[in-house]
Structure 1
Amino acid sequence: MEPALVLKTATVLLALGALGGLVMAGMRFAGQPHPPAWLAMLHGSVAAAALTLLIYAAATVGLPALALGALILFLIAGAGGAVLNLRYHWKMLALPKWLIVVHAGVAVLGFALLVIAAWAASGA
């Protein structure tokens, strides 16, 4: 397993997950109390796949320090996403906008670190 390929793959998966997150945030800020369940599950599953890939790579081949920092931020963002899903979405309660913003902000910071790490690892 090549670390640069893992970083690129995780970056693509997280970018796809972010698109779903943007759609869901747009729905919430447009007045819908929560997104459709299928979209929330797709968003979480794609992000979890990327997170699992990063964890596996960190445990086996090692990752650069920036990628490890991104991994920690994604774990925090994932915890926020789990709270949004289990505490609010599945109970049919309106998702708190402040928590959506914090979840997204932590994920965006992690994504920025991951992109920088992937760029550096590819030698570009």
Structure 2
Amino acid sequence: MTPALALGLACILFLWAIILGIMLAFARYGKEKNPPPVLVWWHGGFAIVGFLILLYGSFFVGYPMLANFGVLLIALAAIFGLWMYFNFHRKEVLIPIAIVWAHGALAAVGFILIIMAMLNIADTAQV
């Protein structure tokens, strides 16, 4: 597996997680209830599989430093996501909007760094 392939596969999964994450954010904003659990589970499922592919590639395939920094930001976003789920959503406590923003911002910046690294690898690949 090449670094560009691993990053590309992870990015496809993260795009699904992003779409569901935006739906989750809209389901939370302006309402006094948390999003539906089925969306949370699908969002987390896509994100976890994408993150596992990133970790595999980071340890065994080898990414540039920009992608590794993106993986670190995605890991921090995952910690925020798990914290939101176990401390708020699962206990049926309203999730604070600031935590939702922090989770989304970390994930978005990490995703952008991974895309940039993937495109840089694709530009420098020998055809």
Pick the TM interval, shorter chain.
Answer: over 0.9
Runs of 4+ in 1 over 6 A off after TM superposition: none
Query: Cα deviation per residue 1:97-121 (whole Å; 9 max; x = unaligned)?
Result: 0000000011110011011011111
Q: Cα RMSD (Å) of the superposition?
A: 1.0
SS of alignment partner, residue 123 of structure 1: helix
Inter-partner Cα distance in structure 2 for 1:53 and 1:115: 14
Distance 2:41 2:34 in 1: 12
Task: Look up the equivalent residue of 1:21 and give its one-letter code.
Answer: G
In structure 1, C-alpha distance between the alignment counterparts of 2:98 and 2:13, rounded to whole Å: 25
CA–CA distance in 1 between the matches of 2:46 and 2:62?
A: 22
Query: How far apart, in 2, do the equivalents of 1:37 and 1:112 lie?
Result: 27
Structure 1 residue 73: Cα displacement: 0.1
| Residue 70 of structure 2: aligned partner | 70
What is the number of residues matched between the two proteins? 124
Task: Give distance in 2, aligned partners of 1:51 and 1:94.
Answer: 26
TM-score (norm. length: structure 2): 0.94
* Residue identity opposite 2:88 in structure 1: Y
Partner residue, 2:93: 93
Distance in 1 (alpha carbons) for counterparts of 2:118 and 2:16: 16
- How is 1:29-108 mapped onto 2 (pairs within 5 angstroms)? 29-108=29-108
Residues 1:114 and 2:111 aligned together: no
Name stretches of at least 5 consecutive residues in structure 1 with no aligned partner.
Answer: none
**2:2, 2:15 → 1: CA distance?**
20
Stretches of structure 2 that go unaligned for 5 or more consecutive residues are none
**1:6 matched to 2:3:** no
Calculate percent identity across the aligned residue pairs: 28
